[in-house]
């Protein structure tokens, strides 16, 4: 079965969509630019040199089309389609073209995954620091025990010196 992705013809200076030819599948024949210019009035009225075309993979932006998204412009810097979506609360007000919501959702998912990974790395660092802090605490306790032991030995040595001097305190 043949599957042909959507084609979008747009003004090469503004990016505004002139004609979108939806994706097709089954017993279809792929057309070339010359055939499209003769088949569509909106294209036949244009000077071919002022028009560019971009073709998407079959099934691209399916979720955007399902929710009523319409490609109204091509971002000339990124060559990505810009969609308008109907506002269920105010369907009459025109919307500003924006990147595909499906792409934004995918991008946000990737950002969330990166943030989760960073969180795991941070937790690993915290755990490592916690282990290091525990080691420092153990060393501190050992040093305190050594100081206490030395203090006791010093006290015992002082007592012995006092006893050796005949009971006088220095």
pLDDT (tens digit per residue) in 56-75: 999 999 999 998 899 999 99
| Sign of CA pseudo-dihedral 52, 11, 41, 56 | positive
Q: Is residue 47 part of a domain?
A: yes
Q: Is residue 56 part of a domain?
A: yes
* Segment 10-37 mean pLDDT: 96
Contacts of 43 (CB under 8 A, 6+ apart): 9, 18, 19, 36, 37, 51
At residue 91, the pLDDT reads: 78
At residue 146, the pLDDT reads: 81
At residue 129, the pLDDT reads: 72
Q: Is residue 162 part of a domain?
A: no
Which domain range does residue 51 map to? 2-99
- Into how many domains does the chain fold? 1
Q: Is residue 74 part of a domain?
A: yes
Going by C-alpha positions, the residue among 56, 58, 55 that lies closest to residue 1 is 58
More confident residue, 110 or 78: 78
Give me 117's structure tokens.
């990974």
Under 8 Å between Cβ of 10 and 51: yes
At residue 45, the pLDDT reads: 96
At residue 150, the pLDDT reads: 79
């Amino acid at each position: 079965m043949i599957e042909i992705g959507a084609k979008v013809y747009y003004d090469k200076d503004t990016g505004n969509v002139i004609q979108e030819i939806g994706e097709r599948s089954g017993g279809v024949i792929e057309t070339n630019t010359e055939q499209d210019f003769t088949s569509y009035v909106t294209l036949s009225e244009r000077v071919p040199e002022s028009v560019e075309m971009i073709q998407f993979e079959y099934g691209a932006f399916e979720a955007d089309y399902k929710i009523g998204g319409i490609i109204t412009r091509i971002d000339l810097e990124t060559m990505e389609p810009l969609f308008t979506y109907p506002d269920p609360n105010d369907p009459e007000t025109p919307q500003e073209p924006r990147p595909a919501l499906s792409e934004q959702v995918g991008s946000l998912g990737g950002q969330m995954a990166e943030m989760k990974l960073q969180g795991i790395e941070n937790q690993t660092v915290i755990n490592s620091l916690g282990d290091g802090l525990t080691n420092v605490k153990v060393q501190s306790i050992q040093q305190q025990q050594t100081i206490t032991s030395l203090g006791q030995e010093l006290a015992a040595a002082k007592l012995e010196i006092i006893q050796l001097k005949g009971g006088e305190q220095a």
